[in-house]
Structure 1
Amino acid sequence: MLGASEIRVGMVEDHRAPVWGIERIFEEHDDLSLVAWAPTVTELLAIVVDLDVAILDLRLGDGTTPMENVAHLTEAGVKTIVYTSGEHPALLRSAAKAGTLGVILKSAPQDVIVDAVRAAAAGREVLTTEWAAAVDGDPNLDAVDLTPQLQRVLALYASGGTSASVGHTMGLSADTVNEYLKRIRQKYVDAGRPTQTKLDLFKRAVEDGWLPIPRRNRPTS
């Protein structure tokens, strides 16, 4: 019987080799359990429904789209991580728009994959270079026009600042910064690109070029 702290993971993949890889990675972590896998989302949910996270391949043989699959899993209460070789940015954008919590390369180090699954199980988004690069090249993003002042507020705040620290840097009161943030959020809502969380603001800033695409730290030798 599984412990209460274990994360139940399902995998949607129509090739066996990636499944073996995930099984091998999870063997080293007591809190992770791959309880089922299937070649389609429908088949996975027919096998087991009480999943915490689904690891989803982008290209499946049944012809379904990433957006359809992420939406189907979300409706079933399952959080999603896309697991991909990374050659299809349009498909990554489709999954991102549907609400996937992470995009992880199949070539990623084991600790990156494990951390992503744990973050998704906790409901946290996993912002990676692959995700940012895909949405950065999206020709369908509706542009949001921000004044230089609002651009700087967004960049400072989305980079980790607080209303108080942004205000101190820019010579503004915290209340003024909060008012600017309200204006920024409303502009993105009007463009159909909601910003409910601070991470959403970070994503919008990356998408529109106010902040650079994040780079993954390389391990030191």
Structure 2
Amino acid sequence: MTNLMDERGDLAGERPGVVRVGMVDDHQSPVWGIERILEGQTDLELVEAAPTVAELLAKTADLDVVILDLRLNDGTTPRENVNTLADRGIVTVVYTSGEHPDLLRSAARAGTLGVVLKSASEEEVLAAIRAAAGGEEVLTTEWAAAIDGDPNLDGVDLSPQLQRVLTLYASGGTSISVGHELGVTPDTVNEYLKRIRQKYADAGRPTRTKLDLFKRAVEDGWLPMPHRDHAP
């Protein structure tokens, strides 16, 4: 694929505050579509695209968000790709036609920030990229359905106290507010959170961020499934 950075004189790296977007898709037409959608957006720049994650990172790892296709011809799994990018500090938004829920679940378990269908509107795509760049969950019905229908999530046994800490903290609480609610110190809450993260790590379900904890709480039924409002 062509180097989009070479084709454009106004590189995102030269414009402070611009979100650097990469794309991994082994078909050219979706890349053209995303490039067109991002044209004229002053805060977003598609700086590089490649058919595999390895090739993308070989060109540049200086990215904020990667738009990731689920089915790639190099034999990698969505989970591997999301983890590889996360290790470089890059968040992902899955961009898919949505006909493979098993692949969606693999990406969801690995910590992707959300799923956007290739049939989504331009506004939805832009909103998803901006949300992910800000560290926000891209809450869509497709992502919710993917994790809701996952029959293979390894269960994590949490005590009632750890369940309470998880739900309060994942719902937006802080160590201080959770401690106040439970009558314990913030240091105790942090120790509880370490135990929770370790239990999920042992189950192969990463909790690198607070958003990951939110996902795990939803997956295991400690918090309700998110829903996206639809216009009437």
* TM-score, length-scaled by structure 1: 0.76
- Asked if the contact 2:23/2:48 (under 8 Å) is kept, the reply is yes
- Residue 126 of structure 1 corresponds to 137
- Asked if the contact 1:136/1:208 (under 8 Å) is kept, the reply is no
Residues 29/207 of structure 1: CA separation in 2 closer, same or farther (3 Å cut): same
Residues 34/127 of structure 1: CA separation in 2 closer, same or farther (3 Å cut): closer
CA distance in structure 2 between the partners assigned to 1:190 and 1:39 by the alignment:
32
CA distance in structure 1 between the partners assigned to 2:226 and 2:66 by the alignment:
25
- Residue 6 of structure 1 corresponds to 18
- Asked if the contact 2:144/2:227 (under 8 Å) is kept, the reply is no
Summarize deviations over 1:170-211 as a string: whole Å, max 9, x none.
Answer: xx4143983765654454344443545432322111111122
2:123 to 104, 111, 120: 111
- Asked if the contact 1:6/1:31 (under 8 Å) is kept, the reply is yes
1:37 to 34, 37, 49: 49
- Asked if the contact 2:19/2:65 (under 8 Å) is kept, the reply is yes
- Residue 185 of structure 2 corresponds to 175
Question: How many percent identity over aligned positions?
Answer: 69
CA distance in structure 1 between the partners assigned to 2:64 and 2:214 by the alignment:
26
Gaps spanning 5+ residues in structure 2: where?
1-9
> Which moved further from structure 2: 190-199 or 10-19?
190-199
Residues 156/100 of structure 1: CA separation in 2 closer, same or farther (3 Å cut): closer
* TM-score, length-scaled by structure 2: 0.73
- Residue 61 of structure 1 corresponds to 73
Count of residues paired in the alignment: 217
One-letter amino acid matched to 2:149: G
- Residue 202 of structure 1 corresponds to 214
CA distance in structure 1 between the partners assigned to 2:196 and 2:62 by the alignment:
38
Residues 174/58 of structure 1: CA separation in 2 closer, same or farther (3 Å cut): same
Gaps spanning 5+ residues in structure 1: where?
none
